[in-house]
Homo-oligomer: A and B are copies of this chain.
Amino acid sequence: MEQIVSLCKRRGFIYPASEIYGGLNGFWDYGPLGVLLKNNIRDWWWREMVLCPPAGPDGHPIEMVGLDSAIIQNPKTWVASGHVGGFADPKVDCKACKSRFRADHLKVMELIFIDGEHALIYGEGEPNEVLAASAKYIAKLEKAHGQGYTLSGVQPFTHLNAEGRAKVVCPECGQVGTLTEPRQFNLMFESRAGAVEEESSKVYLRPETAQGIFLEFKNIIDTTRVKIPFGVAQVGKSFRNEVTPRNFIYRSREFEQMEMEWFCHPDEALKWYEFWKAKRMEWWRSLGVADSNLRLRDHVKEELSHYSKMTVDIEYKYPFTAPDFGELEGIAHRGSFDLTQHQEHSGQKLDYFDQELQLKLKEQGASPEDIKAKSRYVPNVIEPASGLTRAVLVLLCEAFTPDEARPSKMFLKFKPQFAPIKVGIFPLVNKDGMPEVAEKLYLDLRTQFTSEYDAKQSIGKRYARMDEIGTPFCVTIDGQTLQDQTVTVRDRDAMTQVRVGVEQVAGFLRERL
């Protein structure tokens, strides 16, 4: 993992935000290569979800539209969604050093102090950082997660103080017994909007893009041609004031999401849940992620969010979770929770009149009362919600390939479609007419593929740099080019070169990209 973080900084994928001011914990900037990689993933998701979504279970196209809702919405939104009341993490403070820690991570812990029923783990964040747990609690975890669950390194926890509280060591300052009981800490960033001080309202930066979609459900029904079932998709930034941002961009305070809400008849929700579960796994595979690094994990009942009837996570084997997996995308069956909540809080009707169902019931000879009752309903929602910035991390992890045979000792084996730079164009030496040919070729190629022209340093160093940033092809203009109009095209993975006519390069690359 350190290698990846270091490469990202060194080659311009991801920098710590405000680094010249000492940074800001939990915030990252996407550099020249990072933004290209991120845009490639974003555009592919948009294409596969909005522009060319998959065929439905009946083989016909499904209906999907895009949206870009505001980050700041009327604050009542977050009361209705449950975020003002419930979107909080139990946190623990150290009275001595004032550090604050997140006390919940359902995979490995629940609460920090003893609740009479079972002694609780201390530790925070990821599995390998669990410090200790009572034997009883260890048994509970194993029961919940099955045999496959790894608890290596977790010691039974025995230190109790007089009040029956765990004498936990503060992981920051090392003092014993200085940690408070867990308190709720709301994760939403707050601000104030409006110019009149007395009337300005407290607002929140959205902690998820999803609610923006629910807010516009009625407008979309009223102003577009969609009918149930249909989906609304959006990509955008969200903000969570995480207690402990960590693992590079995996858990950051500002991040980017790709969320889709699929509105359907309640009786069909399960069918669509299974549909999206399969389609989303296919999508992750289409990014070039190895099947063995992906898995589906159903949430156990205790894990479910307040809004969810059923959730499955698509998980990835991150370097910092391996051999275990960590969250990548959640596919949630949200039932009618959100629309019902917004309906109640706004006083606006958010139900749906299903004309086709009405017609069908009529044909089936249903009674007028029955038809009326059944053809108007609050839709259910299936939500595949994934992190765009997390997808960037996954592609970086997946692509990172050590290779002692190369000068760079590694290369990024991106699926060519997602590589930030598709082709490097190099004059072998920066004279003898080579730059002129190379520049002309570069100007042509860049209209079709993201291209980089580089005339500096030795050709070996230029190849090594392109290996490091995962460029699948390098085109070199050399002495022979000037005689026979051919160039060499180097393949990143095989490290082989073939000669191709300069006029044929674009076609050659098009076939392979």
Contacts and interface: CB of A to CB of B under 8 A. Distances in A.
Interface of A: 9-12, 15, 17-32, 34-36, 38-39, 46, 51-52, 60-61, 65-74, 76-77, 91, 93, 98-100, 102, 185, 189-199, 201, 203, 205, 212, 215-216, 218-220, 223-225, 232, 234, 237, 239, 241-244, 253-254, 342, 345-346, 348, 350, 439, 442-443, 446-447, 450, 452-454, 456
A22 to B, nearest CB: 7
Given A32-B65, A32-B67, 20 more contacts: A12-B224, A15-B219, A15-B223, A18-B70, A21-B346, A22-B74, A24-B74, A29-B67, A29-B70, A31-B223, A32-B224, A51-B446, A60-B439, A61-B442, A72-B253, A100-B196, A189-B193, A190-B191, A192-B241, A193-B253
Contacts of A192: 189-190, 241
Contacts of A193: 24-27, 189, 241, 253
A207 to B, nearest CB: 13
A241 B201 CA distance: 12
A37 to B, nearest CB: 10
Nearest to A349: B20
A35 B66 contact: yes
A203 B212 CA distance: 24
11 contacts: A15-B216, A18-B215, A20-B215, A24-B70, A29-B67, A30-B69, A31-B216, A31-B223, A36-B66, A191-B205, A237-B237
Q: Taking each of A67, A76, A218, which has the highest tally of chain B beta carbons within 10 Å of its own beta carbon?
A: A67
B224 A77 contact: no
B73 A18 contact: yes
A26 B22 CA distance: 34
Given A12-B220, A446-B51, A30 B68 contact: yes
Q: Taking each of A9, A22, A51, A348, which has the highest tally of chain B beta carbons within 10 Å of its own beta carbon?
A: A51
Given A100-B195, A191-B191, A28 B70 contact: yes
Contact of A254 (B72, B196, B442): B72
A194 B243 CA distance: 7
Contact of A17 (B65, B74, B242): B74
Shortest 7 CB-CB contacts between residues of A and residues of B = A18-B74, A32-B65, A21-B74, A30-B68, A12-B223, A20-B346, A29-B69
Contacts of A68: 29-30, 34-35, 38
Q: How many copies does the complex hold?
A: 2
Contacts of A77: 18, 21
A6 to B, nearest CB: 11
Given A60-B439, A189-B191, A191-B205, A23 B216 contact: no
A27 B193 CA distance: 10
A377 B196 CA distance: 45
Given A31-B223, A67-B29, A223-B10, A20 B190 contact: no
A243 B193 CA distance: 10
A446 B52 contact: yes
Contacts of A242: 195
A74 B29 CA distance: 12
A201 B25 CA distance: 11
Contacts of A190: 191-192
A24 B204 CA distance: 12
B443 A23 contact: no
Contacts of A10: 223
Contacts of A31: 67, 216, 219-220, 223-224
Contact of A199 (B98, B185, B196): B98
Contacts of A454: 225
B19 A215 contact: yes
Nearest to A21: B74
Contacts of A99: 196
A34 to B, nearest CB: 7
A406 to B, nearest CB: 19
Contacts of A100: 195-197
Nearest to A201: B24
A61 B439 contact: yes
Contacts of A74: 17-18, 21-24
Given A67-B35, A196-B93, A9 B51 contact: no
Contacts of A253: 72, 193
Contacts of A24: 70, 72-74, 193, 201, 203
Q: Taking each of A73, A98, A201, which has the highest tally of chain B beta carbons within 10 Å of its own beta carbon?
A: A73
Nearest to A449: B51
B189 A195 contact: no
Nearest to A254: B70
Nearest to A79: B21
Contacts of A244: 195
A66 B38 CA distance: 11
B225 A17 contact: no
